[in-house]
Amino acid sequence: MENGKVTDSICLIDAKVFGIPNFTSAYLILGEELALIESGPAKSASLIIEGIRGFGFDPAEVSYIIVTHVHLDHGGGAGTLLRKMPRAKVVVHEKGVKHMLDPSKLVNSSKRVFGNRIDEWYGEVLPVDEDRVVPVKDGDIVDLGKGQRLRMIDSPGHATHHICIYSEKDRGLFTGDAVGVYIPDSRVLIPTTPPPEFDPDVNIETIRGFAGLDLDLLLFSHFGPVDRVSNILGTSIDWLRRWEETVSRMVGGDISLETITEKFRQDTREALGSGEGMEPLHRWVMDYHIPMCASGYLNYFNRKASQACRDS
Ligand SMILES: [Zn+2]
């Protein structure tokens, strides 16, 4: 999918994270004012800038960079983009603000999962000045004019500070990582369940809540628009439940990061099929994404166990 218009007022820009196309997207939203949803990582900043120009706009006109959460592939580039967007403010969940002001803890936490390669993957994460941050919570509205009102929807589960963004005008929900990763080439959805905050039950509640919105479109940050709304929301819940049951059955027996990863890989391989024609993405999913998902579930079950110890 090339950069292009999803609707009259929503433009998709491919951030080509890891050099892989059709994997990570940002969206430019057109009203009287402009908003960018997701900065992408710092390393993608020039592609985002080029993308905005490609739609005929000057990046200096952008008023808001709205990030669904602060993970580096979603919000890591905000500080870099601000240098080209002198009037823009960064809109972020109030619980994520501290990571925008000082990204060091977040970067270190990413390094615990992926090692030093994240510098090469995502680029240097620049801090954002406090006077350029707009903290938001559930129900807050960013009004771009021309009927484009964007409503912030608290959506914990993947991370505690995750927001989704609902466009009343387009009846579309920018899902960030709350619903999973949609792979358009194979039309398959897979979960994204990273440590240290992932909670399957909370994530499922979040997804159930989306059924109450008037929705025609899900707009994934990984990757692109999908109109099979209830089918995809149902699939996402099924995956999270199934993996929770899988890991729960291992508790007290043969449970390790390796055994969980192997089981998750089997399920994912089945869902994706051969992955023919999408080798780099397929490889990334198997080599990095699935171990991260396994680690997120293991971390969740360990948290639960230590909570139970504290309670008893
Ligand atoms: Zn994330």
pLDDT value at residue 104: 95
- With tokens 């399957």, the residue in question is 200
pLDDT value at residue 51: 98
Q: How far is the CA of 52 from the centre of ligand 1 (A)?
A: 23
Global confidence as pTM: 0.96
pLDDT value at residue 73: 94
Q: How far is the CA of 72 from the centre of ligand 1 (A)?
A: 8
C-alpha 174/C-alpha 151 separation (Å) is 10
Amino acid at 69: H
**C-alpha dihedral, 131 to 134 to 135 to 141, nearest 10°:** 160
Q: Which helix (H) or strand (E) holds 224?
A: strand 224-226
C-alpha 46/C-alpha 291 separation (Å) is 30
What's the whole-number mean pLDDT along residues 205-219? Answer: 97
Q: How far is the CA of 158 from the centre of ligand 1 (A)?
A: 7
Return the domain boundaries, the chain: 4-238, 241-311
Q: How far is the CA of 71 from the centre of ligand 1 (A)?
A: 5
Q: For residue 117, count other CB atoms closer than 10 A to its CB.
A: 11
- Percentage of residues in the chain having pLDDT higher than 70: 99
Q: How far is the CA of 181 from the centre of ligand 1 (A)?
A: 10
Q: How far is the CA of 144 from the centre of ligand 1 (A)?
A: 26
Q: How far is the CA of 176 from the centre of ligand 1 (A)?
A: 7
173 three-state secondary structure:
strand
Q: How far is the CA of 215 from the centre of ligand 1 (A)?
A: 22
pLDDT value at residue 138: 98
Residues contacting residue 170 through CB under 8 Å, at least 6 positions apart: 7, 9, 10, 216, 217
Q: How far is the CA of 113 from the centre of ligand 1 (A)?
A: 12
Q: How far is the CA of 146 from the centre of ligand 1 (A)?
A: 31
Kindly report, residue by residue over 106-165, the tens digit of the pLDDT. Answer: 999 888 888 888 899 999 999 999 999 999 999 999 999 999 999 999 999 999 999 999
- What sign has the CA pseudo-torsion 65, 168, 144, 97? negative
Q: Is 10 left (phi over 0), alpha (psi -120 to 50) or beta?
A: beta
Rg (CA), the chain: 19
CATH architecture of 4-238: 4-Layer Sandwich (3.60)
pLDDT value at residue 252: 83
pLDDT value at residue 1: 59
| Beta strand residue intervals within 15-88, DSSP E | 25-30, 34-37, 62-66
| Beta strand residue intervals within 38-87, DSSP E | 62-66
Q: How far is the CA of 69 from the centre of ligand 1 (A)?
A: 7
7 three-state secondary structure:
strand
